[in-house]
Amino acid sequence: MQHVTLTIAGMTCGGCVNSVTRVLKDLTGVSQVEVSLLPSQAKVSFDESRASVDALSKAVQEAGFTVTGVKQAS
């Protein structure tokens, strides 16, 4: 299981948080998602054999937001 924190630009309200949460949870291999407005980030746990940071970032971008940073959790 891999854990990352994505810094996300463009989230301005609870609806944005819900949108980001939904698109990340819908990805195959994602087991846990915690999105917060302040700070604008998503903490994601996923199976690296079924999902990737690139796939997470692409899903967020397709929802209308921008991933500005990725931090691997230790």
Residues 4-36 have pLDDT tens digits of 999 999 999 999 999 999 999 999 999 999 999
30-44 pLDDT, tens per residue? Answer: 999 999 999 999 999
pLDDT score recorded for residue 74: 58
Domains of the chain: 2-72 (3.30.70.100)
pLDDT score recorded for residue 16: 97
- Mean pLDDT lowest among 8-17, 23-32, 48-57, 65-74: 65-74
SS3 sequence, the chain? CEEEEEEEECCCCHHHHHHHHHHHHCCCCEEEEEEECCCCEEEEEECCCCCCHHHHHHHHHHCCCEEEEEEECC
